[in-house]
Amino acid sequence: MSEASDAVTDFWFESLNFPVLRAPQAMQNLASRGSSEKQGMRIIAVEGRDYVSGGFPAELSQITAENGAPLRTAGPVRPL
């Protein structure tokens, strides 16, 4: 999943030249939250959203081209 997220994030910033990427995820979806954190996204808001299974609180995460580029180009983090 992280390889696909990296490819989409790179395309968003490098090919489409958008300055900000925002992604909502249900707060109960811990895997989605972890994926967003790995991308370098930060939570900027909590709001209610409707999903197929009903209404749930959702987090809105964001990464900017300026803040995200160093994270994506630095490569994997290796323990010392």
How confident is the prediction for the chain on average, in pLDDT?
83
> What's the rounded Cα separation, in Å, for the pair 52 and 38?
26
Q: Strand runs (DSSP E) across 1-80, as ranges?
A: 20-26, 42-51, 54-64
pLDDT of residue 54: 86
The pLDDT assigned to 44 comes to 94
Give the residue from 40, 31, 42, 32 showing the smallest Cα distance to 74.
Answer: 40
Q: What pLDDT score does 45 carry?
A: 94
Phi/psi for 4 (5° steps) reads: -65, -40
Q: Is the pTM of this model over 0.85?
A: no
